[in-house]
Structure 1
Amino acid sequence: MALKWIEILTGSLEQKKQYKQNVARMEALPAPYAAAAKAMHRYFLYQGGVEDGDTMVRMLGDLVDMWERAAVDGTPVADIVGDDPVDFAETFTLAYGGKRWIDKERARLQKAMDDAAKEQGS
């Protein structure tokens, strides 16, 4: 009972555990893969805007999997991200869909414009 109450306030404890495990895996990567993974993770937190914990945990797990495979294979970082790492990171996050914080703001903007148009009699 207490666990359910805590999770209502803080979110899933299992998700937090998985997230921390993925972060530990990321930090254990050899250089330069750890630096690349950390940079992408940071960018995801700012750009991705994913609200769903399951999606975020899955995305981070897949990110770490990708960099672990690259490290094992010795694939150069530039071969993974290409010439435009920003485009690569944004395309990576878009592949996960899910609800994002910006969705609420888009709906709010649309409603404001609709209300303004109605006020003008359009």
Structure 2
Amino acid sequence: MTMSDAEKSGFLAKVIGPKLRWRQYQARVKQLPPNYRTAVEAIEQYMMHFVPTDADSDASRFEDLADLFEQAAADGTPIREIVGEDPVEFVEAFVHNYTEGGYVPARARKRLTDAITRAVGEDTGK
């Protein structure tokens, strides 16, 4: 059984589309000021613990994250004003718009909180 041209096209769009969107997202994040980039990378790492719903939803989630931080950086909005005092709560509410999520280990929660604290220049006590 062979694939028709339409089936091949659909399959390739599913495989290449998300990869292209991911690369574009990563390029956008690299353009952020260092502290915003640190915060986004920490949030990104934390979001990887959530169960994906589908490629389009996941790509949209990361693109929306980049939109949020690009606008905040352009406006000079402090990171703490974006994520609040509890970055775990922020990310879980953010992700809830895209998926029901998954179990996130306590270690990942602490890593996120510490990374945001470093990104905003607060003392972590270490």
- Return the TM-score normalized by structure 1: 0.70
Name the residue aligned to 2:55.
Answer: 53
1:89 CA drift (Å): 0.4
Q: Distance in 1 between matches of 2:74 and 2:58?
A: 24
2:66 to 59, 64, 67: 64
Whose helix proportion is higher, 1 or 2?
1
Stretches of structure 1 that go unaligned for 5 or more consecutive residues are: 103-122
After TM superposition, where is structure 1 displaced by more than 6 Å over at least 4 residues in a row? none
Q: Distance in 2 between matches of 1:36 and 1:101?
A: 21
1:12 CA drift (Å): 2.3
Identity %: 34
Give the AA of the match of 1:13.
I
Name the residue aligned to 1:36.
Answer: 39
Give the AA of the match of 2:54.
D
- Aligned-residue Cα RMSD (Å) equals 2.6
- Return the TM-score normalized by structure 2: 0.68
Q: Distance in 2 between matches of 1:101 and 1:73?
A: 33
Matched positions, count: 99
Q: Distance in 2 between matches of 1:87 and 1:76?
A: 17
What per-residue deviation string (whole Å, max 9, x for no partner) do you get for residues 17-43 of structure 1? 011100111122112100001110111
Larger radius of gyration: 1
Q: Does structure 1 residue 4 correspond to structure 2 residue 8? A: yes
Task: Give the secondary-structure state (helix, strand or coil) at the position aligned to 1:32.
Answer: helix
Task: Give the secondary-structure state (helix, strand or coil) at the position aligned to 2:32.
Answer: coil
Task: Give the secondary-structure state (helix, strand or coil) at the position aligned to 1:29.
Answer: coil
What per-residue deviation string (whole Å, max 9, x for no partner) do you get for residues 2-27 of structure 1? x928x47xx42111101110011112
Q: Distance in 2 between matches of 1:14 and 1:37?
A: 22
1:102-113 aligned within 5 A: none
Q: Distance in 2 between matches of 1:34 and 1:16?
A: 20
